[in-house]
Chain A
Amino acid sequence: ILNVEQSPQSLHVQEGDSTNFTCSFPSSNFYALHWYRWETAKSPEALFVMTLNGDEKKKGRISATLNTKEGYSYLYIKGSQPEDSATYLCASNSGYSTLTFGKGTMLLVSP
């Protein structure tokens, strides 16, 4: 069984601040690490899927890194905007498509 942990639980930043979140996961039997962005009343939106140690992915102001040997991933948001306010979920899977999720980091960006 995979246990995925995310920190912090919640974060409140000002517009323009840069921020980062952490996701830790057991490194044994690792297959892929997923980041999702989830706005209230909407579907979770896939941000990144990473599989290889050292992977770095970027989408606009959001980027993520992966360390499979030590079992962690960082998600970075540069110059946060109010529209970035959401819950950010990470999930890991070990082969099949079933995902084990962390509890998420709730981000609030104030204007």
Chain B
Amino acid sequence: DAGVTQSPTHLIKTRGQHVTLRCSPISGHKSVSWYQQVLGQGPQFIFQYYEKEERGRGNFPDRFSARQFPNYSSELNVNALLLGDSALYLCASSLVGGHEQYFGPGTRLTVT
């Protein structure tokens, strides 16, 4: 079985640009969560989606948005990129009502 997949693996953007990160959950998992991991810190929760609806949001500005598609894949969008948005963005999927999350390898975003 394929695990959680994320694309792209690495990305370099310029301040002010927009970025879209993609995540495909494990087959059968209907919930997707996004986390940001900055060097030296633990992953921080950004969004959780289930059945195409936002079920939770962390303490991130409105420049961050996400959506979930009918096939349960998800996109994370970040507008007006800042240098501080440089981080590893992790996606995790879980079963409905389950509390064990499975992580993808992440997308490394560098903002210059």
Whether B55 is near chain A, meaning CB under 8 Å from some CB there, is: yes
Q: Which of A32, A41, A46, A100 contacts B105 (CB 8 A)?
A: A41
**A91–B41 Cα gap in the complex (Å)?**
13
Is the beta-carbon distance between A97 and B101 smaller than 8 angstroms? yes
A98 contacts which chain B residues (CB < 8 A)?
33, 45, 48, 56, 58
Count of CB-CB pairs between chains A and B under 8 Å: 62
Which candidate, B13-21, B65-73, B76-84, B92-100, is the interface stretch facing chain A? B92-100
Is the beta-carbon distance between B42 and A46 smaller than 8 angstroms? no
Whether A89 is near chain B, meaning CB under 8 Å from some CB there, is: yes
A102 contacts which chain B residues (CB < 8 A)?
42
A11 smallest CB distance to B (angstroms)? 16
Once A43-B3, A43-B4, A43-B104 are accepted as A-B contacts, the answer to whether A49 and B44 lie under 8 Å apart by CB is: no
**A101–B40 Cα gap in the complex (Å)?**
12
Find the residue from B90, B101, B105 having the highest chain A CB count within 10 A: B101
Whether B106 is near chain A, meaning CB under 8 Å from some CB there, is: yes
Write out, one digit per residue, whether chain B residues 24-47 have a CB within 8 A of any chain A CB (1) or not (0): 000000010101000011111100
Query: Nearest residue in B to A90 (C-beta to C-beta)?
Result: B42
Is the beta-carbon distance between B40 and A34 smaller than 8 angstroms? no
**A41–B9 Cα gap in the complex (Å)?**
10
Is the beta-carbon distance between A101 and B44 smaller than 8 angstroms? yes
Once A41-B105, A96-B55, A96-B56 are accepted as A-B contacts, the answer to whether A34 and B45 lie under 8 Å apart by CB is: no
Is the beta-carbon distance between A97 and B42 smaller than 8 angstroms? no
Is the beta-carbon distance between B3 and A101 smaller than 8 angstroms? no
Whether B103 is near chain A, meaning CB under 8 Å from some CB there, is: yes
Q: Which of B41, B90, B99 contacts A97 (CB 8 A)?
A: B99
A111 smallest CB distance to B (angstroms)? 27
Q: Which of B41, B58, B94, B100 contacts A103 (CB 8 A)?
A: B41
Closest 7 CB pairs of A and B: A101-B42, A44-B103, A43-B103, A43-B105, A103-B42, A98-B45, A101-B43
